[in-house]
Amino acid sequence: MAPQPPQEDMVVLAFAVHEAPNPPADRVERAASLLFVKDAFSWPAALFTPLWLIVHRLWWPLLGYLALVALLLEAGSVLAPDAGWIVLGLAALNLLVGLEAAPLRMWSLARRGYSDLGSVTGRTLPECERRFIEAWLPAQPIIAPGAEERNHADRWWRWRPLSTRV
């Protein structure tokens, strides 16, 4: 039997799954609020690096990127009189950010208190979401313990007149 050529639909995507620091009490609402971060090279991060870092609120990596760009421009003007080397260095730096885009986002989410729930693979994002939630949801309590007090406090805040809110 002759080997079959690779098919385009055989691409497998990988996502890391994160949950916000204070998830909703209801497991269905928790499932809807999960964040899936694609673990792959990011073309937007490589092509529009500073803008991508700002949009994803990656302030420390943005500061490091700007420092490296300034260092590269200064070193390039002193060491390499040809501007082509500077452009090549900037392109390499942008490609590095594109390669490290997913770990940068995961690091930022962890700093903000997001929990890493695991990872999932599949052909599309909806398939990955379905596969993860089908495996994760049955193990979760219908209403999280201690949620009654939190929900009661939330309702009290919502229904108080505007004049009494602090």
- Note the pLDDT of residue 140: 82
Is 2 domain-assigned? no
Q: Are strands 115-122 and 35-38 parallel, antiparallel or unpaired?
A: unpaired
Is 3 domain-assigned? no
- Note the pLDDT of residue 45: 96
What's the structural domain count of the chain?
1
Q: Any idea which residue has 């990596």 for tokens? A: 61
Is 8 domain-assigned? no
Alpha helices of 18-146 — where are they, by DSSP H? 27-32, 43-47, 49-55, 59-79, 83-99, 101-111, 125-136
User: Dihedral of CA 98/20/116/13: which sign?
Assistant: negative
Is 59 domain-assigned? yes
- Note the pLDDT of residue 6: 60
Is 45 domain-assigned? yes
- Note the pLDDT of residue 83: 79
Positions in the chain whose pLDDT score sits under 70 = 1-9, 81, 144-166
